[in-house]
């Protein structure tokens, strides 16, 4: 269960879900620069102690953080450009063609081309021993970079994978030259020499991300704010992890999946959902003591303080669909080693798992037993409580403390958008349940979330700002226009912060800003 001791009640958490891409920034996308620090200051001033993000990985086609190129690598698009300007790795002339960005929406096509160009210029200056621009070479930065490359175990395969994609004009790895598709040790060495510059570039990007992210995390933690991360259970087929660990996935000799992930037909879809991710070779994972998985979770818990695992039920049983099927209908449930896996994971970590189980959708008793065996909090979504006008587990009077209450998630409509389009029966039950006219529906739901017995209460930034459906982060099943929402610096007003502060105090979730120790004072 969540943080507690034997003498005190469990700590009450409250926070906001906001992905870094949504932060204010002059460069077309939210990043780890001043806008991120402004947001952390806003959380602290609001008496909040949680910040939840979506997966922080290097996104691929479709820009979804749930289909990254790596289970470990960070998102280069959120690297702070101002930092590179301060280091004089970028100069004013580099911004002469910068587009006029929409402050409320990301244009990924234009953004990727422009920001990648900046990052490549910064790297070329970084490795150019003759580049001075009236400054001495930053030897401290170079030393940190060298140490990062030497000590980051997953980096070599990731950077070779990305450089290999570039060398093959972006094609997925299973369509590459045979000598790189499944290379021997000698072939891998040859490719590393051939692609040395590209490998160095991706090493540089991950170094920048790690430096900037850890600085931001330290800043948040010092203000009493913990970060909730997110990790997808399955990986993209075209990812560094699948390419470099093919034996850990159910692939044929040519690198194609034998079976793929999805979910079966249900109330919402007559044909189910066909995700297409390759499935794990759990037999091989078991033989290795789950070494890859344990490394993955351990690393993620250095990046964030808590970790939400998407599609938790897949550790109990998963829906396996033969590769080539057009729908998920012809799949079957197969067992996964959930009990054994989490037992070994907890033993390796040496402490209770700070994991949130995404237990939404069709959940049976065995999934609940697995979740509860390890004291993992599940998720409660207030929108779901009223979509069903009958008695249901999402209504707050049915909660137990060891859960996380949300008004909605990244996959839901905003609360205002949801309520606007809800059935009248749903609206009626909500109004009667909270004895309200729902004229300020977003804050009715925020107060409901904060006042629940849930140990954690988290609300999307869109609900805090009372935004309609245009600000929705993701619409499942829709391929375009997702992951693009941003807010403006002016949205983080003192009036809004004061309202959150009052609410967090009212429901016992307030966390004062920690006093600095003498050694921490400047």
Residues designated catalytic: 310, 358, 411
* DSSP 3-state of 226: strand
Sequence-distant (6+) residues with CB within 8 A of 428 are 389
Give dist(CA 70, CA 60) in Å, integer.
10
Kind and range of the H or E run holding 335: strand 332-335
Extended strands (E) in 122-198: none
Determine phi and psi for 471, rounding to 5 degrees. -95, 5
* DSSP 3-state of 306: strand
Cα four-point dihedral sign 148, 149, 150, 156: positive
The angle at the Cα of 292, spanning 288 to 295, to the nearest 5 degrees, equals 125
Give dist(CA 170, CA 163) in Å, integer.
9
**Helices 441-451 and 424-434 meet at what angle, rounded to 10?**
50
- For residue 84, which of 122, 128, 44, 138 has the smallest C-alpha distance? 122
Determine phi and psi for 195, rounding to 5 degrees. -110, 25
Give dist(CA 19, CA 410) in Å, integer.
9
* DSSP 3-state of 355: strand
Q: What number of CA atoms fall less than 13 Å from residue 187's CA on the CB side?
A: 9
Determine phi and psi for 485, rounding to 5 degrees. -70, 140
Extended strands (E) in 418-522: 456-460
- For residue 243, which of 287, 289, 291, 177 has the smallest C-alpha distance? 177
DSSP 490-506: GGS-HHHHHHHHHHHHH
Give dist(CA 3, CA 306) in Å, integer.
10
Based on C-alpha coordinates, what's the Rg of the chain? 23
Contact between 12 and 47 under an 8 Å Cβ cutoff? The reply is no
DSSP 232-278: ESS--SSSHHHHHTGGGB-B-TTS-BSEEEEE---SS-TT-EEEEEE
Burial (CB count <10 Å: 0-12, 13-18, 19+), residue 396? middle
């Amino acid at each position: 269960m969540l943080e507690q001791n034997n003498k005190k009640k469990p700590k009450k958490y409250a926070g906001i879900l906001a992905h870094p891409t949504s932060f204010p920034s002059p460069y077309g996308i939210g990043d780890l620069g001043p806008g991120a620090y402004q947001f952390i200051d806003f959380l602290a001033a609001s008496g909040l102690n949680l910040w939840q993000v979506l997966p922080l990985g290097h996104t691929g086609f479709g820009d979804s953080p749930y289909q990254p190129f790596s289970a470990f690598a960070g998102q280069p698009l959120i690297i702070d450009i101002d930092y590179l300007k301060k280091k004089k790795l970028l100069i004013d002339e580099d911004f002469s063609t910068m587009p006029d960005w929409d402050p409320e929406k990301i244009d990924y096509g234009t953004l990727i081309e422009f920001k990648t160009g900046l990052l490549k210029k910064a790297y070329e200056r970084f490795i150019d021993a003759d580049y001075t621009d009236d400054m001495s070479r930053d030897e401290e930065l170079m030393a940190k970079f060298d140490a990062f490359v030497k000590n980051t175990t997953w980096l070599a395969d990731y950077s070779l994978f990305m450089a290999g994609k570039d060398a093959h004009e972006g094609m997925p790895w299973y369509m590459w030259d045979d000598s790189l598709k499944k290379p021997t040790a000698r072939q891998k060495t040859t490719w590393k020499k051939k692609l040395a510059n590209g490998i160095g570039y991706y090493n540089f990007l991950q170094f920048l991300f790690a430096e900037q992210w850890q600085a931001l995390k330290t800043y948040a933690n010092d203000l009493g704010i913990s970060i909730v991360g997110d990790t997808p259970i399955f990986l993209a087929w075209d990812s560094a992890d699948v390419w470099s660990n093919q034996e850990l996935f159910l692939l044929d000799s040519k690198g194609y999946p034998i079976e793929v992930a999805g979910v079966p037909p249900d109330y919402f879809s007559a044909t189910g959902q066909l995700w297409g991710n390759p499935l794990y070779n759990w037999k091989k994972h078991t033989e290795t003591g789950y070494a890859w998985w344990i490394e993955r979770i351990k690393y993620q818990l250095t990046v964030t303080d808590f970790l939400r695992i998407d599609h938790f039920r897949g550790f109990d049983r998963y829906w396996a669909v033969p590769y080539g099927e057009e729908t998920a209908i012809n799949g079957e449930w197969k067992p996964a080693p959930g009990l054994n896996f989490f037992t070994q994971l907890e033993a390796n970590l040496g402490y209770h798992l700070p994991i949130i189980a995404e237990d939404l959708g069709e959940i049976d008793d065995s999934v609940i037993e697995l979740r509860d065996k390890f004291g993992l909090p599940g998720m409660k979504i207030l929108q779901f409580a009223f979509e069903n006008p009958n008695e249901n587990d999402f209504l707050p009077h049915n909660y137990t403390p060891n859960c996380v209450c949300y008004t909605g998630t990244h996959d839901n409509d905003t609360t205002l958008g949801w309520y606007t389009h809800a059935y009248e029966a749903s609206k009626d039950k909500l109004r009667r349940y909270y004895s309200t006219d729902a004229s300020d529906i977003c804050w009715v739901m925020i107060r409901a979330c904060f006042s629940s017995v849930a140990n954690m209460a988290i609300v999307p930034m869109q609900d805090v700002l009372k935004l309609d459906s245009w600000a929705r982060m993701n619409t499942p099943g829709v391929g375009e226009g997702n992951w693009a929402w941003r807010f403006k610096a002016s949205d983080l007003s003192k009036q809004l912060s004061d309202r959150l502060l009052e609410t967090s105090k009212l429901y016992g979730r307030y966390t004062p800003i920690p006093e600095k120790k003498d050694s921490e004072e400047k």
